[in-house]
Amino acid sequence: MEIKVHGMGMSTCCARVLLCLEEKGLDYEVVPLDLTAGAHKQQPHLSLNPFGQIPAFEDGNVTLFESRAINRYLARKYEAAGTDLLRSGSLVESAVVDTWMEVEAHQFNGPIYKIIRQMIVNPIYGLPIVEEVVEAAAQNLGKVLDVYEERLGTHKYLAGENYTMADLNHIPYLVYMMRTDRAIIVNSRPRVKAWWEDISSRPATLKVIESMMPA
Ligand code: GS8
């Protein structure tokens, strides 16, 4: 297979890339990496991702890491296939997609990562859930999603009337958060809730959720 994703479907950052591959209808192979054995901190993985993290990505001779950068590469290379994720045909529309992708990476990701780390990852490693950390992150995420609630009052999706990579990049952490009692942060905001129900029921999303951790 030309396209290889080194990692595993249960990892949120790998799932982000798989969502893009599925929206584009591309064939790919997930090359499993045994994180428990520390394979990500050793060669040959370090030559694919020098930070010793997953995912790492190969498309023929091209090797990349950083899930969001991999997704932009895929969307540019396979622009004509599947969903138009970057709206590159319009300077302004693509700039709005960029804006909301930045919002995801710089406003949304920080607090939701803390919630998932505490509530989902810590128990796996036998670590306690620090409730104060969860509460502070939930407050911050709520403030971010207040902005989304407003935005989704005038637009169907974050970047406008079309589903784009700006929406897609949010999905993996939300899949896990929606299984916790902090799902209320989404469910208490009607437009954010409707947006989540829409983007989480896309065929590509349903396919990728199958490879994530079971609920
Ligand atoms: C983050 C990669 C990352 O944190 C990206 O690709 O988007 N900004 C990067 N990967 C995590 C798994 S994410 O579920 C990872 O590899 N963790 C193991 C480690 O850091 O040792």
Asked whether residue 26 is domain-assigned, the answer is yes
Residues 37 and 121 grouped into a single domain: no
Q: State yes or no: pLDDT of 1 exceeds 80.
A: no
Give the CATH number of the domain where residue 178 resides: 1.20.1050.10
Residues 109 and 201 grouped into a single domain: yes
pTM above 0.95, yes or no: yes
Residue that terminates a domain, selected from 78, 100, 123: 78
Asked whether residue 11 is domain-assigned, the answer is yes
Residues 29 and 127 grouped into a single domain: no
For the chain, the average pLDDT equals 97
For range 142-161, the mean pLDDT? 98
Residues 73 and 95 grouped into a single domain: no
Tens digit of pLDDT for each residue in 30-40?
Answer: 999 988 889 99
Residues 126 and 153 grouped into a single domain: yes
For the chain, how many structural domains are there in total? Answer: 2
Q: Which comes out higher in pLDDT, residue 35 or 53?
A: 53
Residues 63 and 117 grouped into a single domain: no
Q: State yes or no: pLDDT of 62 exceeds 80.
A: yes
Residue nearest to atom 19 of ligand 1 (CA): 53
Tell me how far the alpha carbon of residue 171 lies from the centroid of ligand 1, in angstroms.
16
Q: Is the shortest distance between the CB of 213 and ligand 1 below 6 Å?
A: no
Residues 69 and 95 grouped into a single domain: no
For range 83-87, the mean pLDDT? 98
Q: State yes or no: pLDDT of 66 exceeds 80.
A: yes
Asked whether residue 83 is domain-assigned, the answer is no
Residues 98 and 177 grouped into a single domain: yes
Tell me how far the alpha carbon of residue 145 lies from the centroid of ligand 1, in angstroms.
24
Residue that terminates a domain, selected from 33, 51, 78: 78
Q: State yes or no: pLDDT of 19 exceeds 90.
A: yes
Quote the percentage of the chain above a pLDDT of 70: 100
Residues 139 and 196 grouped into a single domain: yes
Q: State yes or no: pLDDT of 88 exceeds 80.
A: yes
Give the CATH number of the domain where residue 15 resides: 3.40.30.10
- Domain span at residue 32 reads 3-78
Q: State yes or no: pLDDT of 215 exceeds 90.
A: no
Q: Is the shortest distance between the CB of 13 and ligand 1 below 6 Å?
A: yes
Q: Is the shortest distance between the CB of 49 and ligand 1 below 6 Å?
A: no
> By the 8 A CB rule, do 23 and 204 touch?
yes
pLDDT at residue 35, rounded to an integer: 87
Asked whether residue 23 is domain-assigned, the answer is yes
Residues 159 and 199 grouped into a single domain: yes
Residue nearest to atom 13 of ligand 1 (CA): 13
pLDDT at residue 160, rounded to an integer: 98
Tens digit of pLDDT for each residue in 154-198?
Answer: 999 999 999 999 999 999 999 999 999 999 999 999 999 999 999
Residues 45 and 126 grouped into a single domain: no
Sheet holding 29-32, edge to edge: 29-32, 3-7, 56-59, 62-65
Q: Is the shortest distance between the CB of 66 and ligand 1 below 6 Å?
A: yes
Q: Mutation test of ligand 1: which of 10, 45, 51, 54 has the most ligand atoms closer than 8 Å to its C-beta?
A: 54
Q: Is the shortest distance between the CB of 118 and ligand 1 below 6 Å?
A: no
Residue nearest to atom 16 of ligand 1 (CA): 53
Residues 107 and 158 grouped into a single domain: yes
For range 6-10, the mean pLDDT? 94
